[in-house]
Amino acid sequence: MRAMNRKRNLATAALVAPAAAWLAVFLVLPFIAMLVFAFGERAPEGGYQPAFTFAQFANLPTRATAFWNTLMLAPAGALLCLLVAYPTAYYLAVKANPRYRLILVSLVVVPFWTSLLVRTYAWMYILGSRGIPNLLSMIGIEDVRLLNTPGAVLLGIVYGYLPLMIMPIYVSLERLDRRLLEASADLGAKPVSTFFGVTLPLSLPGVMTGVALVTILLLGEYLIPQLLGGGKVFFIGNALVDLFLQSRNWPFGSAIAVTLVAVVVVVLMLAMRIAWKIAGTRQVDLV
């Protein structure tokens, strides 16, 4: 018996070891280095100089605009993604013809087959002076600026991250027991009551997964605000690139990165807590 348990443990260790080593080398060790840098000082020629000081964290308010834009636009982008994704996922999972469902789901994933950079450049053309503003000027609507605005950044966020919101919600809705919907109708519930009493509560785990996934990724977003915001809509990711590559203030950049990681952990813990609470207290109201 002990020999069998030992073999199982060795097999489990062999399976887990590659992933554990990968995480240790490319996640844990870089984070430890970043944490050490955060308490250091900027060297005269740039980079890192060993020290132990909290001055970098005290300077965080100087990047308040980047934090504000990120903490406002990231949740707003996730909410807009949710508003677009839920009806789409609902149609795919509940209303679409099963014969064409796989094709429709594949169309949702197709944008990921091309680079986000290429797709964002396409939106730069569409929102730029030769795109929609040019068409509007032909009908007498002049001086319309769409590019380099928060609206352009939100549009790019919704377009880029929408599939990541649709898929978790679709999986939750696709697993929905149709007998509950039939029972709700048999008990006299209207479609709206069935949706809010049965469908929505049972799909909340997928909603929470999608919102958490999109929000966490948006907290570190760099490309979309850089291209569609034109430097006027500054995210934390843009601040990190500037500090590490331009001003070479590695300790201050590390302090911002550590703070960002702390924010991500808090968001993830809140999402998991809400999801567990929903799963533990979920009730289905059929009337």
Instruction: Map out the domains of the chain as residue ranges.
Output: 73-278
Q: Comparing 105 with 10, which gets the higher pLDDT?
A: 105
281 pLDDT exceeds 60? no
pLDDT value for 286: 35
Task: Return the structure tokens found at 45.
Answer: 């020629």
pLDDT value for 269: 84
pLDDT tens digits, 190-243:
888 888 888 888 888 889 889 988 998 998 899 999 999 987 888 999 999 999
Q: Would you say 237 and 63 are in contact if contact means Cβ atoms under 8 Å apart?
A: no
259 pLDDT exceeds 70? yes
DSSP letters along 58-83, please?
HTGGGGHHHHHHHHHHHHHHHHHHHH
Closest by alpha carbon to 92, among 171, 162, 160?
A: 171
pLDDT-derived band at 91, boundaries 50, 70, 90: very high
Cα dihedral 103→108→113→116 (10° resolution): 170
Neighbours of 223 (CB within 10 A): 16
pLDDT value for 191: 84
Considering the domain 73-278 in this protein, what is its CATH number? 1.10.3720.10
pLDDT-derived band at 287, boundaries 50, 70, 90: very low
pLDDT tens digits, 98-134:
889 989 999 998 888 888 899 999 999 999 888 899 8
Closest by alpha carbon to 251, among 74, 106, 259?
A: 259
